Amino acid sequence: MESPIKTTEQMATLKGLIAPIADREPGPVLLCLQAAQAHYGYVPEGAVAVIAEVCNVTRADVHGVFSYYSDLKKTPPPAISVRLCAAEACQAVGGRALAAAWGEACAADANLATATGTDEPVFCLGNCALGPAALVNNQLIGNASVDTLKSAVEAAQNAAEASL
């Protein structure tokens, strides 16, 4: 995949985005990484060097912060994100079985797998009474099943198509 930060102009765009953060915040590396991710949907290759330069730290310093936070992504997000709760209350009501069944559903349907990417578990969505819980494009789903997840993915795809 081509990084959106290769040319001098692209680097200037990112610098323009993060320089105000670096100027006003102490220890701005995490905030700059978050700003890059908010802008691109992930932290592209090349951003680490730009952030290191703007924040006046080493690339290793930036990489250390980048690799510590699992919410900071190295690759573009899937079109529709599906995240299943993996915390205890949801496990007690079938969360693991749902994760396994969702994995099987994605393995059997290449389009579903491509659209939703790899499930990244979350740990408690504050919806424990209606577990197993999930997020589909940040929409909370209670009593989640493979069918309700597929319906939510389809609705998200339809909404995305309608907005074009």
Question: Is 85 a residue that touches ligand FES (CB under 6 A)?
Answer: yes
Closest distance between ligand FES and the C-beta of residue 91, in Å?
A: 8
Q: How far apart are CA 57 and CA 47, in angstroms?
A: 13
> What is the spatial distance between Cα 63 and Cα 58, in angstroms, rounded to a whole number?
9
Q: Are 72 and 33 in contact (CB under 8 A)?
A: yes
Give 32 or 133: the residue with its C-beta nearer to ligand FES: 133
By CB under 6 A, is residue 84 in contact with ligand FES? Answer: no
Which residue in 79, 89, 101, 105 binds ligand FES (CB under 6 A)? Answer: 89
Question: What's the sign of the alpha-carbon dihedral 120, 149, 157, 87?
Answer: negative
Q: Does 87 bind ligand FES (CB under 6 A)?
A: yes
Q: What is the pairing mode between strands 139-141 and 82-84?
A: unpaired
Out of 98, 127, 136, 137, which residue is the one contacting ligand FES (CB under 6 A)? 127
The conformation of residue 70, written as its DSSP 8-state character, comes to T
Kindly identify the residues of this chain, within the stretch 2-31, that bind ligand FES according to CB under 6 A: none
Residues 107-126, interacting with ligand FES (CB under 6 A): 124-126
CA separation for the pair 103, 33 (Å, rounded): 30
136 interacts with ligand FES by CB under 6 A: no
Q: Which residues bind ligand FES (CB under 6 A)?
A: 85, 87, 89-90, 124-128, 131, 133
